[in-house]
Structure 1
Amino acid sequence: MAGMLMKIACMVVACMVVLAPYGEAIITCGQVTSNLLPCLNYLRNGGQVPTNCCAGVRSVKRAARTRPDRQNACKCIKSACKDYPGIIEANAAILPKKCSVKIPYHIQYSIDCSKIQ
């Protein structure tokens, strides 16, 4: 009987691990903002991209593994642009490339986050 319960428990855990990527977004706006805050000066003024900014961009990309996470990160970034005025859209658009991070969409203010895959 104990062996059967152990097998069932293992199966439940395995299902949770497999199905977890299809759940709700787990990346928070706090994570996104804190990771990208070192980019603020570059986003407003251009120039050299700080190393800690690129580290933050990579962290956000790593954390946003699922579609809901990517969509939530997009919404957080759009919201942060309103909270931190003066961001130049062209600087935001080129930031992933300057940090050698590939993302499957173009960063712009008018982006529809719900369409991000």
Structure 2
Amino acid sequence: MATHKLKYVVVVLMCMAVVGAHVAKADINCGQVVNFIAPCINYLINGGAVPGGCCDGVKNLVLLAQTTADRQTACNCLKAQAAAISPFKNANAEALPGKCGVNLPYKISNSTNCNNIKF
């Protein structure tokens, strides 16, 4: 199981290197986003109860991504991770912020247009 998750993290990091190059002047980076969201991978695939570490990561992500550039970077990183996780379930991802008691100004989805995010 750990090898399975590691494989996804490696794929996600490679995807994020490409996606991250398109966003300028952000203080947050994809490595941070991956670390914040990593405890959520099992929930994103299987649903069920959201682990406490997952909500801590989502809350930290929201606190750190306060500018338009940071939010767009975080969104693009999450979008790349969503595309790399299989089988990723959009319904689980869309429910995650609410289950963690936070508000994201965008959906966690592999189809979100991150360029539309404004502060």
| TM-score, structure 2 normalization | 0.75
Structure 2 counterpart of 1:107:
108
Contact map agreement 2:39 2:51 (CA 8 A) in 1: yes
CA contact (8 A) 2:40 2:51 kept: yes
Change (3 A) 1:105 1:50: same
Equivalent residue for 2:35?
A: 34
| 2:54 alignment partner in structure 1 | 53
Question: How many aligned positions are there?
Answer: 95
Q: How far has the Cα of 1:24 moved from its partner?
A: 1.1
Match of 2:10 in 1: none
- Greater Rg by CA: 1
C-alpha deviations, 1:8-61, integer Å up to 9, x for none?
xxxxxxxxxxxxxxx810101000001100000000000000000000000111
Residues in 1 aligned to 2:107 and 2:39: alpha-carbon distance in whole angstroms: 21
Deviation at 1:105, TM superposition (A): 2.8
Quick one: distance in 1 between partners of 2:41 and 2:90?
12
**How far off is 1:110 after superposition?**
1.7
Q: Please name the residue that 2:76 is paired with.
A: 75
- 1:24 corresponds to which residue? 25
Name segments (4+ residues, structure 1) moved above 3 Å. none
Partner of 2:86, secondary structure, is coil
Residues of 2 paired with 1:33 and 1:104: CA distance? Answer: 18
Q: Which runs of 5+ in 1 are unaligned?
A: 1-22
Unaligned runs of 5+ in 2: 1-23
Identity of aligned residues (%): 45
Give the TM-score normalised by structure 1: 0.76
In structure 2, how many angstroms separate the alpha carbons of the residues matched to 1:80 and 1:107? 9
CA distance in 2, matches of 1:115, 1:53: 26
CA distance in 1, matches of 2:87, 2:93: 11
